[in-house]
Amino acid sequence: MKKYTSLCGFHLLAISALFAGATMLAAHAARADSILAEAPPAAPPAGSGQGTVLKDKVNIRARASRNAEVVAQVNKGDALEVLERKAVGDGAKSMEWLRVTLPASAKCFVLTKMVKDGVATADAVNIRCGPGSSFKDIGKLVKGEQVQIIKTQGEWSEIKPTAHCTGWIAAEFVNVEAPAPAAPSPSAIENTTPPVALPVTAVPTTPLAGVSPDDSEVHVQYVIKEGVLQAVNNEPSAPSSYELRTPEVEGRSYRLAYLTTTEKNLTRYEDKPVRVYGNQSWRKSDRFPVIAIERIDMVW
């Protein structure tokens, strides 16, 4: 009888230990999901910012190469939006290039049949730097995107550069002013010990709905973030109809931010990788920030 009692006690202890271990693993998993979900987005690409041209008649090319087609020319004092910096070549032959948005003077062409009444009729329509398929592509159109047609000659139409059109310029001819470093996310600040008061490090150029510049409960800053744009489903209390999420990995993705915009329809960007620019507000009591979009680009 004593042996039986001892065995029963042993089994009960083992079951309790297993149950406690499972509970602990579940708690750790839930915490890991929470950390991933609340992780702040990556910093802007290295070398990005606002640039000023240092010389006259500097070429912007279709690729980061001295042999690539010239897309446009800029002059001393012209402002450029710099998206990326990269080095091409090795050792002494290495040369730094900047990827920039194209000025209005750039020559951009699309197949006439791919645009009807100034609207792209398909996704991934190539924008080229010349009227022919042999010219390099310098951007793309998404279905439904509006373009301004300058003139049409046969199979090709010249259009005004869109926000998706980019070119490359030698870094030595541009002075780049790097964006201000991003401040820690509100969740990171809240998790420090002792608690630290959340400062407002930047005030948006345009007021955000429901956000007061003097509201110390809200962290506001200008951001550039990449992710997948998706519609928000089954969340009646969500602050917007769209969100920015991480790319899906092993069937899972995580929300980076809610998105608001004055543009009524973002359908053409749904489920596509995008780069958004705008003022981000993050209230201490909210789990996710809200970005008021000033500009949105497709990322190819």
Which residues have a Cβ under 8 Å from the Cβ of 296 and sit 6 or more positions away?
Answer: 163, 229, 261, 266, 269, 274, 275, 276, 277
Cα gap 11→14, rounded to integer Å: 5
Both tokens of 51, joined, read 């640039």
**pLDDT tens by residue, 138-176:** 998 888 888 999 999 889 999 999 888 999 999 999 998
How much is the pLDDT for 71? 93
Q: Are 135 and 69 in contact (CB under 8 A)?
A: yes
How much is the pLDDT for 98? 93
Nearest to 50 by CA among 79, 13, 16, 20: 79
How much is the pLDDT for 193? 47
Domain edges within the chain: 1-38, 49-176, 180-298
Nearest to 288 by CA among 228, 245, 247: 245
pLDDT < 70 stretches in the chain: 1-48, 91-92, 178-216, 263-264
How much is the pLDDT for 221? 87
How much is the pLDDT for 181? 55
How much is the pLDDT for 69? 93
